[in-house]
A and B are shown apart, each in its own frame.
Chain A
Amino acid sequence: MGAPLGRREEKSSALLAIALGGGIAGTLDLLQACILFRWNSPLAIAAGLLGRQAFQGGVRIYVLGVALHFFIACSAAATYYAASRRLLFLRGHPLVCGLFFGGAVEDVMRFIVLPLSALHARGPYQLDDLILGLLVHMVVIGLPISFSVRRFAK
């Protein structure tokens, strides 16, 4: 029921879903990484762009790392949103699809993006790191994005 949404409203609901999903996912993920590893993890993210000299630090490099992190989180949310326009089940089953999406984000980041980044992180990988990374990102990245797209995207 109700009048069909105008283009403007549709656009704003897309932005809301992406910003909220990406924002929550990015915040939770950054917090867990900082608590689990150390508070200078944003330097490691910046090093993916700038190379290993980013580890020397500085406020600007720290901010760049945080910005890159949220750029990636919002890109993930935008991907899920875009896919959910065609694949309606992404909105109908946010639990299953969110967990799978979080796992896919982890795999793409670890096995494609990080090896190609300026960090050249090409493994070999410890079993514990793989299991922990997969489980954490399934929950912390996948679920906020899928539920936010379900809730806010018209």
Chain B
Amino acid sequence: MEDSVARTVGVSRGQPLNRSMLLAIVVGGGIAGTVDIVQACMQEGWDIPLYVAAGLLGRKAIQGGAGTWLVGMLLHFFIAFTAATVYYAASRRLDFLAVHPVVCGLCFGAAVFLVMNLVVLPLSALHATGPLTLHYLVFGIVQKMVVVGLPIAFSVRRFAK
């Protein structure tokens, strides 16, 4: 009982934080965030982090400098680590998330894309309320399924105890 409570909150006896939890989240979120931003920058240009920052600071951030660029990068990785944390936390209750990383990772990646584009971006300072093109949606869903979903799912499977 005590053990299961400790596991749920991610604290194991004698350690302030569960190492395997941190490893799963940092490696999964790190790989997902890195591949995703590199892919986006290669496709759209290296000023993409400015658009990420604009989600917090508004459209004027698009003209920003190095500081703004860095804020965008930090925000991007904060979101990637948040996604990895959500998958890790869910996998504590739903065991199959760690057992079937391909199916569950692909579904999770699609969910990340839809939550970001249908909830977060419209509410952000960019007020991106569409309309969205078919190409953008299809490409975005497939890209996030592979690039975000799979690294997070496999890293939780590999590292989380």
Interface locus among A16-24, A100-108, A144-152: A100-108
> Of the candidates A88, A92, A111, A123, which one forms a contact with B141 in the assembled complex, judged by CB atoms under 8 Å apart?
A111
Measured between alpha carbons, how far is A72 from B103 in the docked complex, in Å? Answer: 22
Interface locus among A27-35, A57-65, A73-81, A127-135: A127-135
Measured between alpha carbons, how far is A89 from B100 in the docked complex, in Å? Answer: 10
> Of the candidates B96, B99, B118, B132, which one forms a contact with A134 in the assembled complex, judged by CB atoms under 8 Å apart?
B118
Measured between alpha carbons, how far is A126 from B129 in the docked complex, in Å? Answer: 8
Q: What residues on B are CB-neighbors of A49 within 8 Å?
A: none
A4 within 8 A of B: no
A104-141: which residues lie under 8 A (CB-CB) from chain B?
104, 107, 111-112, 115, 122-127, 130-131, 134
Measured between alpha carbons, how far is A107 from B142 in the docked complex, in Å? Answer: 11
Q: What residues on A are CB-neighbors of B96 within 8 Å?
A: 87-89, 92-93
Q: Once the chains bind, are A115 and B103 in contact (CB under 8 Å)?
A: no
> Of the candidates B99, B111, B122, B138, which one forms a contact with A100 in the assembled complex, judged by CB atoms under 8 Å apart?
B111
A96 within 8 A of B: yes
> Of the candidates B99, B110, B130, B134, which one forms a contact with A127 in the assembled complex, judged by CB atoms under 8 Å apart?
B130
Main secondary structure of the interface of A (DSSP, over half): helix
Q: Once the chains bind, are B138 and A127 in contact (CB under 8 Å)?
A: no
Q: Once the chains bind, are B130 and A115 in contact (CB under 8 Å)?
A: no
Please indicate which of the listed interface residues B122, B132, B133 has the most CB atoms of chain A within 10 Å of its own CB.
B132
Measured between alpha carbons, how far is A111 from B129 in the docked complex, in Å? Answer: 19
Contact residue range for chain A? Answer: 20 to 34
Q: Once the chains bind, are A124 and B132 in contact (CB under 8 Å)?
A: yes
Are A127 and B118 also in contact (CB < 8 A) when A89-B94, A93-B96 are?
yes
Nearest residue (CB) in A for B113 is A107
Q: What residues on A are CB-neighbors of B103 within 8 Å?
A: 87
Measured between alpha carbons, how far is A122 from B130 in the docked complex, in Å? Answer: 15
* Nearest-Cβ distance from residue A41 to partner chain B, whole angstroms: 22
B65 within 8 A of A: no
Q: Once the chains bind, are A127 and B94 in contact (CB under 8 Å)?
A: no
A35-66: which residues lie under 8 A (CB-CB) from chain B?
none
Measured between alpha carbons, how far is A6 from B94 in the docked complex, in Å? Answer: 32
Q: What residues on A are CB-neighbors of B134 within 8 Å?
A: 111, 115, 122-125
Q: What residues on B are CB-neighbors of A122 within 8 Å?
A: 134
* Nearest-Cβ distance from residue A63 to partner chain B, whole angstroms: 30
B71 within 8 A of A: no
> Of the candidates A104, A111, A112, A124, which one forms a contact with B107 in the assembled complex, judged by CB atoms under 8 Å apart?
A104
Q: What residues on B are CB-neighbors of A103 within 8 Å?
A: 110-111, 114
Q: What residues on B are CB-neighbors of A124 within 8 Å?
A: 130-134
Q: What residues on A are CB-neighbors of B17 within 8 Å?
A: none
Task: Spell out A's residues near B (CB within 8 Å).
Answer: 87-89, 92-93, 96, 100, 103-104, 107, 111-112, 115, 122-127, 130-131, 134
